Chains A and B, each alone.
Chain A
């Protein structure tokens, strides 16, 4: 009894406080992940899902998916989609954040309005963009035609490259507010005095930006980019609603392809193997994120 008491003195008492959250994570997050990893090493299909005779097949599912053209395409799509969205969202978001930190009239109100895309359910956004990019009835083609920019309607969602472009556009629209608000918050933490003394020393606008704003924003920028990467990489609903991976599998992401394998084609083990590839990539990114943040906190 005494030893128990001793154990919970000082530092160790913290463990007790963490316990409920830890147990929750173990049951609701840890278990499914481990189960999913085991599933990916078996050959579970529609025939043995219930009967229980699951054979262990080692890495066969992983070899199979890496030979699968659609998977390679989905992997590449996911990377391409994430990087393009991230770069453009970040630049526009940064620009807007700089713009709205000037204290003009209505700055706060307009900035609040710009949060709208972030708050709208993604399914709604996806449907709206599906209408916008419609070939015969879409407003984008209508506008382009009335300005005489195009002669023929562009088949946005039924051609491979333009479908990808349309999905990226939709996602950028969603992601800008996220970037903007985080960078805005970062900007407010930079002391005004620094800018004042810089201007007294005769530093120009661009110079101030490069020498003061960027270095001081570095932790914020790192967080925004890494969180943005994770949010974008696991995209599902947007693609599922807008194209369901089509035309001809050209816009499949890892998430949508995993869903298709598992729940439309009943290849549960292959589906979970794809999901695990997604997990591993995100894991690497997250470790990177935790490293940078803990380093800064230590410093």
Chain B
């Protein structure tokens, strides 16, 4: 009788576990499908096993993937010591895969990752310290800061981007508006442009890192830092966003829109202005060749501000560090950086290269100008916590579940616990 009970209990455990396995075991499945996308394996059969370098990246954009393929192929053809191959990991799974990989000791040799996460993983100890191995003196400060932790360099900036204001020229002309440069003008213009089917302004306000990325320019523009939410300026930024939503100048649905969704709303004419990055340009030109749009600096309160985006290379500690470094040297050479940045629509993190880029592209020139004002998120190992507190705050404000003052106070108490 007792045995039967034990058997029933263990059976029950197994049953539940089998059902939960749906959540838990999926990374393995993804890994195998991801392997199908491995690229640049041409030189593989000639290379020795020690000479392999695997890269993880998350760009879903086909143009980006092709550019990386070409970079890798060029490198593999140029020498036969190191064979590089890349593996695509979806952005939503990237952090998860790195965490799982770190605890299971199954990491690649090189990763191209989102810069605000860099500090977290560096503090985890999975990145090799490459201080002194790369000259980053000609790079912009923001990107270099994002690779640095405790004054040690744990990566090399891959390329950068930042946010700017896109506007629909036809809609602005029709409404008789000029391009806004200040918050007041922005609000006024957005209200004028709003109709039943068009919202004046849109920017991604998801309750995650992507949303925080789009919200921080408003905070920084007031002069506040990322850690000063419950100040006059922090509350001001929250109030501004709240007013945009309350006045109907911005759709509340932004809290469910990714930056890609926002771009789709813009090119289909449902949004007259949007905050977005230069990586959308290629798609916009392709999908809506007739749409007349232009780009300007993000309207400012006290000072110009934009959020620094982009990726960093990081060498995994304990992997094929030597091979990864060799590839990095090739990939960061002027010629290759130029090729990658121009193909992908990125701004080089290397100032000397960035200044020569896009000489005849007025739109990209705006983004290069905006780069001077772009600030990095963090760098702080606990940035995900800070980011979560901030994104909760603007979501509360936008949905009306808290006043700007309340939301700022809640966010501040979380931030103060983290940042002493």
Contacts and interface: CB of A to CB of B under 8 A. Distances in A.
B392 A249 contact: yes
B120 A50 contact: no
Contacts of A116: none
B73 interface: no
B123 interface: yes
Contact of B102 (A50, A155, A243): A50
Contacts of B251: 135-136
A135 B252 contact: yes
Interface string B1-20: 00010001101111111111
Interface in A248-280: 248-249, 255, 259, 262-266, 268, 275, 278-279
A265 B255 contact: no
Contacts of B181: none
B388 A265 contact: yes
B207 interface: yes
A161 B35 CA distance: 41
B21 A234 contact: no
Contacts of A264: 95, 208-209, 384, 388
Nearest to B393: A248
A281 to B, nearest CB: 9
A16 B48 CA distance: 44
Given A158-B253, A247-B255, A265-B385, A29 B8 contact: no
Given A158-B252, A249-B392, A264-B95, A46 B20 contact: no
A32 B24 contact: yes
Given A25-B14, A264-B208, A46 B120 contact: yes
Contacts of B16: 230, 279, 282-283, 286
Interface residues of B, number: 51
Contacts of B13: 33, 283, 286
> Which interface residue of A50, A234, A283 has the most chain B CB atoms within 10 A?
A50
Contacts, number: 136
Interface residues of A, number: 51
A47 B385 CA distance: 14
A38 interface: no
B197 A136 contact: yes
Interface of B: 4, 8-9, 11-25, 95-96, 99, 102-103, 120-121, 123-126, 197, 199, 206-209, 251-253, 255-256, 270, 381-382, 384-385, 388, 392, 395-396, 399, 401
Contacts of A262: 96, 99
Interface string A132-174: 0011110000000000000000010111100000000000000
A291 interface: yes
Nearest to B9: A287
A29 B18 contact: yes
Q: Which of A46, A287, A289, A290 has the most CB of B within 10 A?
A: A46
A244 B22 CA distance: 18
Contacts of B382: 46
A33 B17 contact: yes
A273 to B, nearest CB: 15
